[in-house]
């Protein structure tokens, strides 16, 4: 890892290239681009010839913000064209892309690639759930489309390393080639690594979730558990006098259901709070799975077992829970963001994941 050198292409103009959102839900996209552009990273190559990997500093979030907003159309042709034009520019100017067919190049984005609105679908799924029908069978008809940019260019899809939050294996995400980017929600006030970690004996809530009914999984969760159990506290909205982070810190387990896309910032928020994440998702490839054993730091519950959440979590022995919580606290540093990046923090871990995939490439 210490030998890793990255060349950041200098072509293109802000804001769609060389910058990205620094706050809120897509913040890690801008933070990573800025880290690569800052000149402070020891991984930046002084010359392109010494680079092991090449970074395409295009921000999908900024393309959407500056080209699409206010949104009048969900046609992604403009997004695809901007990205493909950028690749063509660097491929025509330098030998590196053509030399490897892009397999030693990577891009990074936390924006939702496939902006598919499925508000009408969850009603059908909830009804199917209530009738006891095969939930997996029902869900299979409503899977999202493949990531938009690479879907329209087979060569990009085949070779380019994609570092993305929406790491959905049913949409073409390939764990051996692509990298899962953890989703971090950085507030406007800046970084907050304060860990609201109560000792286990003071955590009175078995499981906690608060959030909108975004996507079929959350709608099923809210349908079954919303305001129905004192131990499994599931809320769509919190009152003004309730503190979201403190409630996570008072909980043994934090429910992390997918929304419209598979990724959720709640996984990282749970880890910050010393709360064991309960992953409720289909086809999500968890971050840093090359080096983290998620079975030791989380509970993964299939969508069709949402009715059994309480039974499953109560089945975790106290000894096992204490071991898991200890491991969760141990991995907190891997999900913290520092500027400049520090060894083993989230930006460093992302680069490590890219490096592992680069080592697998035979040029």
Q: Look at residues 55, 17, 53 and name the one whose alpha carbon lies nearest to residue 36.
A: 55
Is 32 within 8 Å of 108 (Cβ atoms)? yes
Distance in angstroms (rounded) separating the CA atoms of residues 270 and 225:
19
Q: Where are the beta strands (DSSP E) in the chain?
A: 6-8, 53-55, 105-109, 161-164, 179-180, 205-210, 232-235, 251-257, 276-280, 299-300
Mean pLDDT, residues 233-260 taken together: 96
* Other beta carbons less than 10 A from residue 317's beta carbon: 9
**Residue 69 CA: distances (Å) to CA of 63, 64, 95, 225:** 9, 7, 35, 36
208 has a pLDDT exceeding 80: yes
129 has a pLDDT exceeding 70: no
126 has a pLDDT exceeding 70: no
What architecture is the 200-333 domain classified under in CATH?
Answer: 3-Layer(aba) Sandwich (3.40)
200 has a pLDDT exceeding 50: yes
pTM of the model: 0.88
For the chain, the structural domain boundaries read 6-188+337-359, 200-333
| Residue found under tokens 């996209």 | 29
Q: Look at residues 307, 291, 304, 286 and name the one whose alpha carbon lies nearest to residue 344.
A: 291
Phi first, then psi: what are they for 67, rounded to 5°?
A: -105, -35
Is 316 within 8 Å of 309 (Cβ atoms)? no
Is 300 within 8 Å of 279 (Cβ atoms)? yes
SS3 251: strand
Distance in angstroms (rounded) separating the CA atoms of residues 180 and 229:
34
Tens of pLDDT, residues 63-114: 989 888 777 776 778 888 889 999 999 999 999 999 999 999 999 999 985 3
Q: Look at residues 98, 96, 121 and name the one whose alpha carbon lies nearest to residue 214.
A: 121
Distance in angstroms (rounded) separating the CA atoms of residues 46 and 35:
15
Average pLDDT, the chain: 88
Q: Look at residues 215, 194, 219, 237 and name the one whose alpha carbon lies nearest to residue 284.
A: 215
At residue 121, the pLDDT reads 37
186 has a pLDDT exceeding 90: yes
Tens of pLDDT, residues 18-65: 999 999 999 999 999 999 999 999 999 999 999 999 999 999 999 989
Tens of pLDDT, residues 131-140: 444 444 334 3
Which of the two residues, 340 and 147, has the higher pLDDT score?
340
Share of the chain above pLDDT 90, in %: 74
Phi first, then psi: what are they for 222, rounded to 5°?
A: -65, -40
End-to-end CA distance of the chain: 19
Buried b (16+ CB within 10 A) or exposed e, 186-221: beeeeeeeeebbbeeeebebbbbbbbebbbbbbbbb
At residue 120, the pLDDT reads 35
Cis peptide before 320 (omega within 30 of 0): no
Pair of tokens at residue 96: 């590196």
């Amino acid at each position: 890892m210490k030998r890793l050198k990255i060349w950041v292409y200098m072509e293109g103009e802000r804001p769609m290239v060389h910058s990205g959102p620094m706050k809120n839900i897509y913040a890690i996209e801008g933070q990573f681009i800025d880290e690569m552009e800052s000149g402070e990273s020891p991984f930046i190559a002084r010359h392109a010839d010494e680079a092991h990997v090449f970074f395409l500093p295009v921000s999908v979030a900024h393309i959407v913000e500056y080209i699409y907003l206010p949104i009048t159309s969900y046609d992604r042709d403009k997004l695809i064209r901007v990205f493909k034009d950028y690749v063509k520019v660097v491929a025509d100017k330098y030998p590196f892309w053509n030399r490897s067919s892009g397999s030693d190049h990577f891009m990074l984005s936390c924006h939702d690639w496939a902006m598919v609105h499925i508000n009408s679908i969850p009603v059908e799924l909830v009804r199917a759930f209530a009738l006891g029908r095969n939930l997996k069978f029902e869900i299979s008809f409503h899977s999202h489309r493949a990531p938009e940019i690479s879907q329209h260019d087979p060569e990009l899809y085949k070779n380019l390393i994609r570092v993305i939050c929406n790491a959905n294996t049913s949409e073409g995400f390939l764990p051996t080639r692509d990298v899962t980017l953890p989703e971090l929600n950085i507030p406007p006030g800046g970084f907050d690594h304060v860990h609201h970690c109560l000792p286990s004996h003071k955590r009175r809530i078995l499981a906690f979730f608060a959030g909108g009914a975004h996507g079929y999984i959350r709608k099923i969760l809210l349908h079954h558990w919303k305001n129905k159990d004192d131990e499994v506290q599931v809320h769509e909205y919190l009152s003004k006098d309730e503190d979201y982070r403190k409630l996570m810190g008072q909980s043994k387990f934090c429910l992390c259901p997918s929304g419209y896309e598979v990724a959720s910032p709640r996984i990282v928020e749970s880890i910050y709070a010393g709360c064991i994440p309960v992953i409720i998702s289909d086809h999500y490839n968890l971050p840093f799975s090359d080096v983290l054993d998620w079975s030791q730091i989380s509970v993964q519950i299939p969508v069709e077992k949402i009715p059994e959440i309480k039974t499953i979590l109560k089945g975790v022995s106290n000894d096992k829970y204490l071991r898991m919580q200890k491991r969760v606290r141990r991995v907190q540093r891997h999900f913290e963001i520092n500027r400049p990046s520090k060894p083993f923090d989230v930006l460093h871990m992302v680069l490590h994941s890219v490096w592992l995939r680069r080592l697998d490439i035979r040029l």
